[in-house]
Structure 1
């Protein structure tokens, strides 16, 4: 359906009259702008900005309602927990997106419904958030004109239009900037918590406790400018470049430092209040002070501590969240040089004696130094999303990334593996 006709139907519904009669708000289904087989040409299904004047987009619909006199705080916009897919896609332009697809007569790849993949299927099969890339031959692309992300496999010609943590956070920031009522999703049961975290950060909610760092998930994919730069660099003759000096501030554990929010400002010169987010390992006397003083914990290795700051004016209007990462290190005098490796002495074992060397997969015999429980092949890990257990195995600590049972940590900690190697203990 053309967007103009859709907006006319919205006017015919007399929503303004309904709101005057007591209707609290309106939820805009700002998704399904594209889909197979009904879409005439390739496009995004939940983009924030229009590719052309008056085209399908969140902003086009919101601008229309505001121009018609709707109150901003009664307008809610939506983000999608699923994709809209297309097959036999030929892309002419990455940003702005332009291309064609062939819906064919059969079903298109999807989780349960033809042409639709649900979010949990996306992150396991197509999108690797942790490594900021696609899976199984798919690339992540960003249309900067539409402020939309999509996945595409040049080999299979399969295209997936979707919301990512980056685009969902941007929608939250957009809603907060315009003073909209809020953001909703279709549907929450398809989300593993990543998308709702992103929109809450975009809306300006303060982080009460952090299970996972969302910042790496807000990455942009491939776009026209990056492709052109890559092409230019490939064609150019290689020349030597001068090195660049860099200085990194690192604080020795046990030191006292101050973090100041005094540089915060307000265009209206309103009186400001402060709210600091502090790591659990650090105590602060007053988290609402303009300047906080902290004692950095003593550490045995380089450790990062993340602080956050929200500032509110006298009307309780929040600022965007500011983050500061403080890097703590042991004093140089405390760092012991690694001893030189002694030459290995091999003692021959008589043939008649039984070989008592433990098998590769045997549990280590000495786990007295282990700070966490040893990994157990019969235990289910990651069963509850948001609870990512840490185990010890063969001298290293490992953290599970998703549901796992029987996947030995040291053999499944690479790209696509169920475990992350946290290092030796």
Structure 2
């Protein structure tokens, strides 16, 4: 609280990735409760970043947590990456009708529906947009084994996508984009087209809005994910 007041900040965001069992979930709630005591609303803002997967969210009493929170930033990305044995979309809007593995069952839609089913106020939910792509070398589609990762630790900033020599594709049925070719292999990421889809979903579900990680990876002008999301949300 002293630090917040010293620099005249709005409040605190808790990015605990992530309570791994029910006891840690209780500890997480206790932390939120003590922070809210020290940083009373509405003078201060208390937010949190949470994973999109039910495998993590089930350890938290979300209905109780939202009492202390102004906003919940749902990290609706990193569904697939080097920790899974087959390629997949990292930030798909909808769960496919036949997911090829457990990671592919997670989507923006599944995260939103789970949180709403737990009694979370939809206006407190912000849906995360990645301003980067995840790379899988030696493959050109989902559900394939890969031979390695391109970019920096397997990622490319969105401003560097699609990769030189690669072709960009969209799967509108599940709200996902990717490029194939060049030095990235199969790279999964968001584009203005998928962000527009997600903005429409946010509006339809009555959610609070969108957030982005991280802003320095974005492009400028008409291809900006942030600008696209803003316009899509406010033109509706």
TM-score, normalised with respect to structure 1: 0.39
Change (3 A) 1:43 1:174: same
Give the alignment partner of residue 191 of structure 1, picking from 218, 221, 227: 218
The residue aligned with 1:32 is: 78
1:81–1:163 CA contact under 8 A, matched in 2: yes
1:48–1:147 CA contact under 8 A, matched in 2: yes
Give the alignment partner of residue 163 of structure 1, picking from 170, 177, 190: 190
CA distance in 2, matches of 1:183, 1:82: 16
Give the alignment partner of residue 119 of structure 1, picking from 158, 162, 178: 158
Question: Root-mean-square deviation (CA), in Å?
Answer: 2.2
Report the CA distance between 1:99 and its aligned residue.
Answer: 3.1
Structure with the bigger percentage of helix: 2
Give the alignment partner of residue 101 of structure 1, picking from 141, 145, 150: 145
1:138–1:152 CA contact under 8 A, matched in 2: yes
1:142–1:150 CA contact under 8 A, matched in 2: yes
The residue aligned with 2:172 is: 144
Structure 1 spans left out of the alignment, 5+ residues: 92-97, 127-135, 206-319, 321-425
The residue aligned with 2:69 is: 23
The residue aligned with 1:75 is: 125
| Displaced runs of 4 or more, over 4 A | none
Structure 2 spans left out of the alignment, 5+ residues: 1-51, 100-104
TM-score, normalised with respect to structure 2: 0.68
Aligned-partner SS, 1:146: coil
Aligned-partner SS, 1:150: strand
Give the alignment partner of residue 47 of structure 1, picking from 89, 92, 95: 92
Change (3 A) 1:16 1:166: same
Q: Which entry has the higher C-alpha Rg, 1 or 2?
A: 1
Tell which has more relative contact order, 1 or 2 (C-alpha 8 A, sep 6+): 2
CA distance in 1, matches of 2:195, 2:130: 9
2:139–2:145 CA contact under 8 A, matched in 1: yes
1:142–1:148 CA contact under 8 A, matched in 2: yes
1:90–1:157 CA contact under 8 A, matched in 2: no
